[in-house]
């Protein structure tokens, strides 16, 4: 299921195209998982590793609006909700286009917030803007009493090749969070879904007693095929296993749920 969203003016002129060909979407059930992250941070790579597909990736490949894919992860049915990456360039650098771009990204975040059970947030070396977004997301969950939702932050340190580079980059991020006394950094034994082998990976957990950190789990991957990325399969197995332990709040009809969110939120963004 794909909802192609150009801009807010297009929904007024011709509407947004919903492509649900050959899909029986009436009875979709399960956990809704969304993949967040700025443009070209590695969202497609992460999705490929999680679901075992070969979606195209690269600087010029973009998700159009909202897209949904139903699948099974760790023997549990989930619906992946993907969005256009934040920070992708506009077609024309005009005040109107830039304003619409900013509003569209905010609109997508609002729709995703209402629909998703789990937020997978793909980042590289964390930026101040990403820190603010994570804080804002956790704060919104806390203020909405959505304690059953989860945020899994995947630090895609794809520029790191050696173990020393990986350890240094990871430790810098860990120190940043642990210093707040709201997180704990710990090794965890994980079984690889494919091979059955067990390895220890490093996981950063938000403490349950901390009102905002409690929603977050952070994991780390390095460059695929390099020493820094040796534990990537176990990290993705950890993510899949975490998703399998999340319960959906209710059975859902995905198209109705999203369109209901649209009908509630669009008037806030469109005047006249």
Contacts of the segment 92-99: beta carbons below 8 A, 24+ positions apart: 97/7
CATH of domain 24-269: 3.40.50.300
Look at residue 175 and tell me whether its pLDDT is greater than 90: yes
| pLDDT at 260 (0 to 100) | 77
pLDDT one-digit tens code per residue, 60-77 = 334 556 777 777 776 777
Residue 203 has pLDDT above 80, yes or no: yes
**CA neighbor of 112 nearest in space, from 39, 32, 48, 38:** 32
Q: Find how far residue 3's CA is from the centre of its chain.
A: 18
Label residue 202 by pLDDT band (50, 70, 90).
very high
Whether the predicted pLDDT of 54 surpasses 70: no
- Within 10 angstroms of residue 143's Cβ, the number of other Cβ atoms is 9
Mean pLDDT of 185-212: 95
User: Higher-confidence residue: 40 or 215?
Assistant: 215
Angstrom distance (rounded) from CA 104 to CA 64: 12
Q: Out of 104-108, 131-135, 209-213, pick the least confident.
A: 104-108
Q: Which residues contact 164 (CB under 8 A, 6 or more apart)?
A: none
Q: Where is average pLDDT lowest: 6-20, 108-122, 162-176, 208-222?
A: 6-20
Instruction: Please determine, for residue 257, whether its predicted confidence score (pLDDT) is greater than 60.
Output: yes
CA atoms of 86 and 80, how far apart (whole Å)? 17
pLDDT of residue 252: 58
Q: Where are the domains of the chain?
A: 24-269
Is residue 37 over pLDDT 80? yes
- Is residue 215 very low, low, confident or very high in pLDDT (cuts 50, 70, 90)? very high
Q: Which residue has the higher pLDDT, 166 or 11?
A: 166
CA distance 266 to 260: 10
Per-residue CA distances from 147 to 37, 97, 121, 144, 216 (Å): 22, 37, 18, 8, 11
**Minimum mean pLDDT range among 67-71, 200-204, 209-213:** 67-71
CA 138 to centroid of chain Cα atoms:
13
pLDDT beyond 80 at 101: no
The average pLDDT across 30-42 equals: 83
At 42, list the tokens.
């590695």
Give pLDDT, residue 28.
65
Residue 239: Cβ within 10 Å count: 24
Q: Do 237 and 49 meet the contact criterion of CB atoms below 8 Å apart?
A: no
Q: What is the pLDDT of residue 113?
A: 83
Average pLDDT of the residues in 149-164 = 96
- pLDDT band with cut points at 50, 70 and 90 for residue 59: very low
CA-to-CA distance for 176 and 185, rounded, in angstroms? 11
Decide: 86 and 38 in contact? Cβ < 8 Å.
yes
């Amino acid at each position: 299921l794909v909802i192609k969203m150009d801009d807010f003016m297009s929904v007024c002129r011709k509407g947004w195209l919903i492509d649900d060909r050959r899909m029986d979407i009436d009875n979709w059930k399960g956990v809704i998982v969304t993949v967040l992250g700025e443009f070209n941070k590695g969202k497609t790579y992460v999705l490929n590793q999680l679901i075992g597909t070969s979606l195209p990736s690269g600087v010029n490949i973009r998700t159009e609006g909202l897209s949904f894919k139903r699948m099974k992860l760790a023997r549990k049915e989930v619906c992946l909700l993907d969005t256009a990456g934040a920070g992708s360039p506009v077609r024309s650098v005009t005040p109107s286009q830039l304003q619409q771009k900013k509003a569209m990204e905010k609109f997508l975040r609002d729709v995703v917030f209402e629909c998703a059970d789990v937020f997978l947030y793909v980042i590289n070396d964390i930026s101040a803007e990403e820190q603010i977004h994570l804080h804002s997301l956790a704060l919104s969950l806390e203020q909405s009493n959505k304690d059953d939702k989860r945020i899994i932050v995947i630090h895609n340190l794809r520029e790191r090749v050696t173990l020393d580079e990986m350890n240094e980059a990871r430790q810098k991020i860990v120190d940043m969070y642990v210093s707040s006394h709201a997180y704990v950094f710990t090794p965890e034994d994980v079984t690889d879904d494919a091979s059955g082998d067990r390895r220890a990976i490093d996981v950063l957990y938000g403490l349950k007693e901390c009102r905002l950190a409690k929603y977050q789990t952070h994991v780390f991957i390095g460059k695929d095929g390099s020493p820094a990325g040796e534990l990537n399969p176990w990290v993705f197995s950890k993510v899949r296993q975490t998703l399998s332990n999340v319960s959906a709040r209710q059975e859902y009809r995905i198209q109705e749920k999203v369109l209901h969110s649209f009908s509630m939120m669009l008037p806030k963004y469109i005047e006249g």
